C-alpha cells in the first residue's frame, strides 16, 4: 500500500497537484510549453503594450500649414513699392497687395486703396524663414501670441535682422509673421467636393501649438 501511495503522490506532483488535488502551478502562461502560435500572440501583445507607452501617430503631429508675412505701409505709392521689393528679396516670391476695406480720414486712407503687401510661403521654405524670424525674437514668445485655434504670430521691427543687406534706396521696414498650424487630414474641410467636418479631437488647439513650439524650436513662452 505504501508503495502505491508514493507512486500516486509522485504522479500528482509531476502534474502540478498536491495529494489533496489542489493545483500548485504558478499562474500565467508558460511560454516554454505553449504552442508556437500561442507564444507568438503573447509576444505581439507585449510589443503592443510597449508601443502604447510611446505613441507615434503621424496624423496627430502638428505641422506648419502656411506662413504669411505682411508689411502694412498705410499708403500707396513709392513706399509700398519698396516694401514689395523687401518681401521679394526675402522670400523669392512675388508679393500680393492688400486694399483698405474702409475710409479712415484720420490716417488719410481711402477705401480700396492699396496700403499693404503680403506673401504666403509653404513647405520647407516656410519653416526656414520662420526660424530666422524666431531667432530675431531669441525664440521667446508670449502666451498671447498664440490663438485659441492653434495659430500664432509675432512682429519684427527691422527686416535687416533677418539677414538682408541694408539698401539706402529701400530703407528699413518692419513686418508681421502669421503662422497657420494644422494636422494631416485638415484638407477635408477646405476641399470643394465632399466636404467633411474635422473631429473635435483632431482640431489643433492652443496648448498643442505651444508644446510643438517648445519641442521643435526649444522655445520659451513668457506670460
pLDDT at residue 28 tops 70: no
pLDDT of residue 84: 95
Overall size of the chain counted in residues: 223
How high is the mean pLDDT of the chain? 84
Highest mean pLDDT among 9-18, 48-57, 93-102: 93-102
pLDDT of residue 22: 52
Helix 124-136 vs helix 78-91: crossing angle, to nearest 10: 110
Q: Where are the domains of the chain?
A: 2-53, 63-222
Distance CA 153, CA 141 (A): 9
| Rounded to 5°, angle at Cα 110 from 107 and 111 | 130
- Bridge partners of 140, per DSSP, are 220
pLDDT at residue 196 tops 90: yes
pLDDT of residue 1: 55
Close Cβ partners of 110 (under 8 Å, ≥ 6 residues apart): 100, 103
Q: Which pLDDT band holds residue 107 (cuts at 50, 70, 90)? A: confident
Over residues 143-154, the mean pLDDT reads: 96
pLDDT at residue 97 tops 90: yes
Over residues 137-162, the mean pLDDT reads: 95
Distance CA 86, CA 97 (A): 13
pLDDT of residue 212: 95
Q: Which CATH fold would you assign to the domain 63-222?
A: 50s Ribosomal Protein L5; Chain: A, (3.30.1440)
Amino acid at each position: 500500500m505504501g508503495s502505491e501511495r508514493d507512486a500516486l503522490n509522485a504522479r500528482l506532483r509531476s502534474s502540478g497537484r498536491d495529494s489533496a488535488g489542489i493545483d500548485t502551478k504558478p499562474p500565467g502562461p508558460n511560454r516554454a510549453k505553449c504552442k508556437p502560435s500561442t507564444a507568438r500572440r503573447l509576444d505581439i501583445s507585449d510589443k503592443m503594450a510597449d508601443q502604447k507607452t510611446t505613441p507615434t501617430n503621424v496624423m496627430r503631429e502638428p505641422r506648419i500649414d502656411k506662413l504669411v508675412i505682411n508689411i502694412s505701409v498705410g499708403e500707396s505709392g513709392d513706399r509700398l513699392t519698396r516694401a514689395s521689393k523687401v518681401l521679394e528679396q526675402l522670400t523669392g516670391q512675388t508679393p500680393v497687395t492688400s486694399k483698405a476695406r474702409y475710409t479712415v480720414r484720420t490716417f488719410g486712407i481711402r477705401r480700396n486703396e492699396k496700403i499693404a503687401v503680403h506673401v504666403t510661403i509653404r513647405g520647407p521654405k516656410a519653416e526656414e524663414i520662420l526660424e530666422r524670424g524666431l531667432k530675431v525674437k531669441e525664440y521667446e514668445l508670449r502666451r498671447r501670441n498664440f490663438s485659441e485655434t492653434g495659430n500664432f504670430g509675432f512682429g519684427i521691427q527691422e527686416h535687416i535682422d533677418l539677414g538682408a543687406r541694408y539698401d539706402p534706396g529701400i530703407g528699413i521696414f518692419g513686418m508681421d509673421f502669421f503662422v497657420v498650424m494644422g494636422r494631416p487630414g485638415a484638407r477635408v474641410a477646405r476641399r470643394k467636393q465632399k466636404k467633411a467636418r474635422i473631429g473635435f479631437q483632431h482640431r489643433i488647439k492652443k496648448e498643442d501649438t505651444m508644446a510643438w513650439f517648445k519641442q521643435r524650436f526649444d522655445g520659451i513662452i513668457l506670460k
